[in-house]
A and B are shown apart, each in its own frame.
Chain A
Amino acid sequence: MSPLLYLTQQTINALAIGSLYALVSIGLSLIFGILRMANFAHGDMMMVGAFATLLLVHAGVPFGVAVVGGVLIGALAGALVERIAYRPVRGSSDVTLLLTSLAVTYILENLGILIFTSSPQNFPLPALLDDVVSMFDGQLIFTRINVLTLAATGVALLFLGWFVTRTTMGLGMRAAAEDLGAANIVGLDVNRLIIVAFVLASGFAGLAGVLWAAQSGVVEPAMGFTPLLKAFIAAIIGGFGSIPGAVLGGFLLGALETMIVAFLPSSITPYRDAIVFALLIAFLLFRPAGILRVQGEAKL
């Protein structure tokens, strides 16, 4: 394999994993931007979306329709969590918010275990999506799911970009991100804004859950944990609360993880996660606002 092909293949690998991280990170940043709250339950919306899709597929619904259903159910679950658990504690101290969102994630995960058991279950993919695209005599390969994930991230970013700059609701969200209290005073329906933000964020999480399950082949109640952790890292690198920052952070993290394995000797690759977390600490120390966000300026 020529060095150029090798680099290209590793770049494809990085994009494939990075786009998943980015998709999870977008929703996390949207909520943080408005509420200043680290929503740990975000990973569980992935689980809800993936399981809902699986149940619909088992019920005989065509795959595409099942995915749409799964995403909608994920979005609905997000709205319910906001209404039931987060709204009563809105404006409380950071510790209260953190503990509430941890409690929600425990409840949802254990609910998942009660209903589905914590054993991994096979996630069936239609052959069309499972297919491999192969070029240069099989030296360059990627799966249709990789392409779909990348496209979904692109569409999500464009849609959110349009939404927060061109619609009244989106502009309201940015106002709320700027100053929640002031947005309330000037007559914005803050409750409605926040519900919509949760619907959007959780819908993206649901979609990311389906794509994550499709790539890994299994669904399980704890499936949201690893991607949530990665999405937090991505959001911090890119700038927590900034949507373009979340996407940038997701791709950077994917690239970093892939390139460490691709170009460093195998005596160092076991320390991949240590390197990533060291970088995370460095960011928190020297550039806590991330790459894109300049403190106190444009949010979302």
Chain B
Amino acid sequence: MTLLRRELLLGLAASLALMGAALAADPIRIAAPFNVTGGLSSLDAPALNGAKLKVAEINAAGGVLGRPLELEVFDTKSDATTVASVASQLVGGGKLAAGIGFTDSDSALALGPIFQKAGIPFVTPGATSPKLPDQVGDTMFLACFGDNVQAAAGAEFVRDQLKAKQVFLLRDNSAEYTTLLAKYFEAAYVKAGGTIIGHDDYKSGDKSLTAQITKIKAMATKPDAIYIAANPDDIGLVVKQFRQAGVMQPIIGGDGYDTPLLLSVGGKGANDVYFSTHAYMAADGTKPIQAFIKAYNAANKTDPENAFAALGYDTVALVADAIKRAGSDDPAKVKEALAATKGLEGITGTISFRPGVRVPDKTATIIGVKDEKLFLAAQVTPSFVPAP
């Protein structure tokens, strides 16, 4: 009886000691809402996997400020209403050092005001609207370039390397991302000396673009190339219908094309398609990218699906660096440290924020498709960037 009691006491003491250790290493919590399912899943899921990988690496190396990082992951289902309710839930659910998430501007816009009000900094790996930080406030940061940069890089690539003098501009008018991308492309392309010979619209969810394509085919002056601002779940179908109609000019677009659906749905229609994105994720990429691919594959049993995986990874690096420099997980201090980020080497490029600008200046990667395979077509730092 006494023996048993002593053992019980010992056990109790041991568990108290364990609890004490856990308290000492109280994790630093980072909110991580992502559209793991829905129309944006082909971009968001890889971004989240990349973020998880970096968190695991940091924790294996002893964490930040001696404490492990912990991601509070929520699936926001590519639905703005869910985004808003998850945001409120996160903000009301205990202390957060920062938040990361999303690859599209619309979701980030739905979440932004709630985090802004709570004063918690939020870094998006892939929402590329350069207007986003100013629309939301001083808590919103981008880890990627803005759409004005990638559209300008696309414009210079089309003008200088594809030697296209006249371009037809088609856009999906149902999202902020695609309408802005089209606007920036037009400004940069005209500035680079090109001519836009026509515009047209379609809407995500229309599964037929044949009317628009026929119109382009019937034009008296033929475009040298076609710029299409498209969302990821449509792009495979879009290029396929163009090629089926016999329109074989190069098709150029933004990072919405960086999804496996481009090749799986587009098939050989995806040949001669070019798009601007954040990194070239292939075995012949840069050394850090190669190392990343290896680690990602070990963790997820698949190679990174696209550059958003690398952006998710860099986003965690950016936040961890800020927490370290702030010396605390207090969101207000982390926010200031984030804004002061200088020369942080990521695998998708170097991240620095100019004073008051929460969008980093980064180089855009242009990827092309040949024989139904992706290849690195160019790295472009645009000489002219349209104002956000």
- CB < 8 Å: which of B173, B198, B214, B261 contacts A10? B214
> Which residues from chain A contact B214 at a C-beta distance below 8 Å?
6, 9-10, 13, 262
Instruction: Contacts A120-B233, A217-B236, A217-B265 given; indicate if A269 touches B201 (C-beta within 8 A).
Output: yes
Interface 0/1 of A120-156, CB less than 8 Å to B: 1010000000001010001101010000000000000
A39 adjacent to chain B (CB < 8 Å): no
- For chain A, what secondary structure do more than half of its interface residues adopt (helix, strand, loop), or is it mixed? helix
B117: chain A residues at CB < 8 Å are none
From residue A89, how far is it (CB to closest CB) to chain B in Å?
27
Q: Which residues of A contact B45 (CB under 8 A)?
A: 119
A92 at the interface (CB under 8 A from B): no
Residue of B nearest to A125 (CB): B267
Bound-state Cα–Cα, A10 to B240, Å: 18
B205: which A residues are within 8 A, CB to CB? 225-226
The answer to whether A119 and B41 touch (CB under 8 A), given A1-B217, A13-B208, is yes
Count residues of chain B with CB under 8 A from any CB of chain A. Answer: 35
Which 3 pairs from chain A and chain B are nearest by CB?
Answer: A216-B207, A118-B37, A261-B211
On whether the beta carbons of B207 and A269 are closer than 8 Å, the reply is no
- A8 and chain B: residue at smallest CB distance: B214
CB distance from B210 to the nearest CB of A (A): 4
Contact of B212 with A by CB under 8 A? yes
Please determine whether B212 and A119 come into contact, CB atoms closer than 8 angstroms: no
Whole-angstrom CA separation of A269 from B202 in the bound complex: 8
Known: A120-B233, A217-B265. 10 other contacts (CB 8 A): A13-B211, A13-B214, A14-B211, A16-B210, A113-B37, A119-B37, A122-B261, A215-B207, A262-B211, A266-B199
Q: Which residues of A contact B200 (CB under 8 A)?
A: 261, 266, 269
**B211 contacts A257, C-beta separation under 8 Å:** yes
Interface size class of A (residues with CB under 8 A): 35 or more
Residue in B206, B207, B217 whose Cβ sees the most chain A Cβ within 10 Å:
B207
Q: Which of A216, A218, A262 contacts B215 (CB 8 A)?
A: A262
Q: Are A270 and B173 in contact (CB under 8 A)?
A: yes
Complex interface: chain A residues within 8 A of B2 (CB)? none
Known A1-B217, A141-B245, A218-B265; judge A119-B42 contact (CB<8 A): yes
A218 engages B217 (CB within 8 Å): no
Does chain B have a CB within 8 A of A273? yes
Closest Cβ neighbor of A1 among chain B residues? B218
Q: A118-B37, A119-B38, A143-B244 are in contact. Are A270 and B233 (CB under 8 A)?
A: no
Closest to A215 in B: B207
A134 and B246 contact, CB distance less than 8 A: yes
B-facing residues in A251-278 (Cβ within 8 Å): 257-259, 261-262, 266, 269-270, 272-273
Residue of A nearest to B237 (CB): A217
A117 with B41: CB separation less than 8 A: yes
Residue A212 at the chain B interface, CB threshold 8 Å: yes
User: Is B77's CB within 8 Å of the partner chain A?
Assistant: yes
Q: Does B165 contact A (CB under 8 A)?
A: no
Residues from chain B with Cβ under 8 Å of A222 in the complex: 38
Could you list 5 examples of A-B contacts with CB < 8 Å? A13-B214, A118-B38, A120-B42, A122-B264, A269-B201
Contact A212:B207 (CB < 8 A) given known A113-B37, A138-B246: yes
B211 touches A218 (CB 8 A): no
Query: A151-185, CB under 8 A of B: which get 1 and which 0?
Result: 00000000000000000000000000000000000
